[in-house]
């Protein structure tokens, strides 16, 4: 049996932010999580609004305004009915990045501007706030650079040769000319000869001997190549800035880390930092517990049933925050033609705010895998009001229930490039409001 003032279900970005925000009000907050979700799989940078209505923009604020005008069910639009949305996004992200910063994970970026980063696939990513290990690699700062893309023999999923030509290509698409791109594949005796993962490599980089060897290797490479910038697939898990400094000093170049698809070291770094900081500020976190049901009375949630293995027990709180994510997180599942919310069985809505019918799921998918307009399925979720309270037919479902993150409907983060931004701001607001609810009695 757990008793707490606020119970947060789900410990992704949204849940951790909501929980920490609520502890600011000196409330007792408990997060339970059954495992992990999309936040751990993300690339560890914070998108706010990259492609409003499917068109790329370098100006997130304009993008947000466009969305507010055209998509009334978008969480940003819903929030804008009560608050200045740009300010609250700024606050939420400042809150998130300062949590990370307290644990040594630094962010850069500003809400006025999106930046283009390069990734280990060999293409680019548009985002707004990024870890400072990536700073020297922001595309518009690379004009005229001579870039050395550094791979590692045996590392799976990163082809430095290919990236060196593709980076030049994509940079030119953004009207940035890289003076030169070259590549190398380092082989270090302490590394696995094949099937080396990026996470293993990052862990190695945390070790003094290894990074000394690596710095030397890099130095010899740079001596033969005329290089101003060095791109690495990772800079290590725990000491990336130290590594960056050492490598920069040793080579006299600017060094940066690339964005990567899962498994992503920066995402792991960020999530570990958020979790440690949340605990530091008094949040209790229990992993390995799954919320499987609830008991309600009228418009109030009385308890949530938790499962751990075969055991079942209730968790009681004054307010509950649902931050269970989408399909990766497990907040939404599909069973026999029905897409369902898993804990409170809340009805789901589509991107336009219409109730979701029971239907063959393929009707919510587009014919092509990556259409600019996105798949309707990715816009489905629970519907919330400006306080982040789930609503059913425009009525608040439960007075003491809030929702945050990608469980919320009305936006498609895949198409829009807004995932962490929405998770942060909805988590921030849900945390504040849940606290107010509890304090108000």
Partner 1 sequence: MVVMEDYDVIVIGGGSTGTSVARDCAMRGFRTILFERGDLASGATGACAGMISGGTKYVLQEPEFSEMCTREVVTLSRIAGHIVFRTPIITAILTEEEIKLRASFVEKYGALTEKRQASPILILSPQEARSLEPKLSNNIILAAYFDEMFIDPFRLTVLTALSAKQHGAEIRTYTEVVDVLHRDGEVYGVRVKDRLTGRDEEIRGRIVVNAAGAWVPEISRIVGIKQTLRLNKGAHVVFDRRITRFGIICRALDGRTVYLFPHETGSILGTTAIDIFTSPDEAEATYDEIEYLISSMEMAVPSVRDARIVRVMCGVRPLIAQWWVPEGDVTRNFRVIDHEERDGVRGLVSVEGGKLVVCRAMAEKITDLVCEKLGREAECRTHLEPLPGADGKVNVEEIASRYHFSPHTAGRLISRQGTLSSIVLSEASNERSLLSSVCLCEAVTEAELRHVIRNEWGVTLDALRRRTRMGMGPCQGFSCGFKAMAILAEERGMGVEEAFRELERFLAERWRGHIVVLRGSQLSEYEMTQAAYACVGSIDMKVGEEE
Residue 147: what are its φ and ψ, rounded to 5°? -100, 130
Footprint (CB under 8 A) of partner 1, residues 192-231 = 193-196
Nearer to ligand FAD, 47 or 91 (CB): 47
Cα 439 to Cα 396: distance, rounded to the nearest angstrom: 19
Residue 47 touches ligand FAD, criterion: CB under 6 A: yes
Residue 369 touches partner 1, criterion: CB under 8 A: yes
Q: Find the part of the chain contacting partner 1 (CB under 8 A) among 9-17, 66-74, 299-307, 333-341.
A: 333-341
Cα 157 to Cα 375: distance, rounded to the nearest angstrom: 27
Contact between 341 and 416 (Cβ < 8 Å): no
CA-nearest of 50, 54, 48, 49 to 374 is: 54
- Put the strands of the sheet holding 284-287 in their side by side order: 284-287, 29-33, 6-9, 319-322, 401-403
Nearer to partner 1, 286 or 327 (CB): 327
The radius of gyration of the chain's CA atoms, rounded to the nearest angstrom, is 22
Among 320, 349, 413, 428, binds ligand FAD (CB under 6 A): 413
Cα 112 to Cα 98: distance, rounded to the nearest angstrom: 19
Residue 367 touches partner 1, criterion: CB under 8 A: yes
Residue 328 touches ligand FAD, criterion: CB under 6 A: yes
Among 67, 270, 291, 435, binds ligand FAD (CB under 6 A): 291
Cα 156 to Cα 134: distance, rounded to the nearest angstrom: 21
Please, which residues bridge with residue 129 across strands?
46
Nearer to ligand FAD, 31 or 204 (CB): 31
Among 309, 311, 368, 393, binds partner 1 (CB under 8 A): 368
- Put the strands of the sheet holding 254-257 in their side by side order: 180-186, 146-152, 229-232, 254-257
Residue 2 touches partner 1, criterion: CB under 8 A: no
Q: Within 10 Å of residue 217's Cβ, how many Cβ atoms?
A: 17
Q: State the residue for tokens 């809400």.
A: 111
Residue 124 touches partner 1, criterion: CB under 8 A: yes
CB of 146 to ligand FAD, least distance (A): 27
Give the torsion sign (CA, 429, 434, 437, 439).
negative
Binding residues for ligand FAD, rule CB under 6 A, total: 42
Q: Find the part of the chain contacting ligand FAD (CB under 6 A) among 12-20, 115-123, 199-207, 213-221.
A: 12-20
Among 262, 263, 296, 314, binds ligand FAD (CB under 6 A): 262
Residue 32 touches ligand FAD, criterion: CB under 6 A: yes
CA-nearest of 393, 424, 389, 392 to 406 is: 424
Residue 260 touches ligand FAD, criterion: CB under 6 A: no
Among 113, 173, 212, 299, binds partner 1 (CB under 8 A): 173
Q: Find the part of the chain contacting ligand FAD (CB under 6 A) among 37-45, 174-182, 277-285, 376-384.
A: 37-45
Please, which residues bridge with residue 296 across strands?
301
Residues making contact with ligand FAD (CB under 6 A): 9-15, 32-39, 41-43, 45-47, 127, 261-262, 290-291, 323-325, 328-331, 342-343, 405-406, 413, 419-421, 423
């Amino acid at each position: 049996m757990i008793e707490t003032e606020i119970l947060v279900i789900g410990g992704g970005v949204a849940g951790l932010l909501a929980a920490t925000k609520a502890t600011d009000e000196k409330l007792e907050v408990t997060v339970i999580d059954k495992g992990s979700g999309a936040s751990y799989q993300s690339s560890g940078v914070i998108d706010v609004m990259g492609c409003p209505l499917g068109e790329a923009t370098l100006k997130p604020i304009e993008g947000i305004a466009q969305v507010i005008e055209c998509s009334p069910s978008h969480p940003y639009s819903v929030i804008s009915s009560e608050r200045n949305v740009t300010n609250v996004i700024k606050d939420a992200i400042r809150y998130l990045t300062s949590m990370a910063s307290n644990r040594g994970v630094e962010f850069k970026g500003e809400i006025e501007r999106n930046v283009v980063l390069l990734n280990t696939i060999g293409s680019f990513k548009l985002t707004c706030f990024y870890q400072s290990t990536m700073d020297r690699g922001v595309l518009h700062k690379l004009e005229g650079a001579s870039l050395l893309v550094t791979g590692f023999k045996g590392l799976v999923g990163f082809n430095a040769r290919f990236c060196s030509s593709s980076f030049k290509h994509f940079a030119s698409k953004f009207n940035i000319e890289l003076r030169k791109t070259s590549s190398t594949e380092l082989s270090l005796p302490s590394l696995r000869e094949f099937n080396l993962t990026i996470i293993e490599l990052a862990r190695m980089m945390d070790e003094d001997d290894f990074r000394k060897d690596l710095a030397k290797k890099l130095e010899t490479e740079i001596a033969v190549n005329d290089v101003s910038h060095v791109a690495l697939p990772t800079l290590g898990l725990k000491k990336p800035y130290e590594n960056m400094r050492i490598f920069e000093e040793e080579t006299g170049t600017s060094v940066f880390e690339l964005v990567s698809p899962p498994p992503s070291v920066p995402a792991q770094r960020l999530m570990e930092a958020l979790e440690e900081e949340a605990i530091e500020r008094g949040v209790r976190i229990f992993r390995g517990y799954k919320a499987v049901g609830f008991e309600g009375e009228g418009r109030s949630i009385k308890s949530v049933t938790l499962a751990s293995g075969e055991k079942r027990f209730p968790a009681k709180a004054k307010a509950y925050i649902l931050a269970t994510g989408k399909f990766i997180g497990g907040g939404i599942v599909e069973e026999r033609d029905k897409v369902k919310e898993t804990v409170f069985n809340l009805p789901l809505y589509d991107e336009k705010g219409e109730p979701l019918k029971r239907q063959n799921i393929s009707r919510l998918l587009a014919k092509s895998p990556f259409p600019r307009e996105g798949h309707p399925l990715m816009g489905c979720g629970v519907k919330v009001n400006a306080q982040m309270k789930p609503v059913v037919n425009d009525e608040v479902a439960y007075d003491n229930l809030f929702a945050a993150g990608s469980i919320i409907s009305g936006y498609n983060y895949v198409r829009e490039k807004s995932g962490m931004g929405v998770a942060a701001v909805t988590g921030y607001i849900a945390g504040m409001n849940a606290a107010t609810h509890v304090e108000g009695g």
